[in-house]
Amino acid sequence: MKYTGSCHCGQIKFEAEGEIGNALACNCSICQRKGSLLWFVPRANLRLLTPEANLSTYLFNKHVIKHHFCAKCGIHPYGEGVAPNGDAVAAVNLRCIEDIDLNAIPVHHYDGRAI
């Protein structure tokens, strides 16, 4: 299934394709503050619909995850990284996806502080 999403102001819009089986809520120092619910898809399944120049990116700790956000409204629609198997992956913030019922999606709580 194809989903569309965006930041609050629309400067960043994207499509993501796949099946939303569950979401991940992480308690690491950045995820807890953002409050995002993450859905992981192969990076090839995420297509940016707005200019890449509209993205701002935050790197921290080991600088391996690109936390993308909108400099205008501050919303974090997705991030990019590499899965343990070496594949490029996108972590889509389900709170930025249009027309889905977040209450119907099972949430796995991940202890990112333990890493």
pLDDT in tens, 42-101: 999 999 999 999 999 999 888 889 999 999 999 999 999 999 999 999 999 999 999 999
Residue 63: CB atoms within 10 Å: 7
Q: SS3 of 59, please?
A: coil
Domain range summary for the chain, segments of one domain joined by +: 2-114
CB contact at 8 A, 22 and 105: yes
Q: Cα separation of 61 and 1, whole Å?
A: 34
Q: The whole model's pTM is what?
A: 0.94
CB contact at 8 A, 107 and 22: yes
Please state which of the four CATH numbers 2.170.150.70, 1.10.240.10, 2.40.160.40, 2.60.40.10 is assigned to the domain occupying 2-114. 2.170.150.70
Section 28-51 average pLDDT: 95
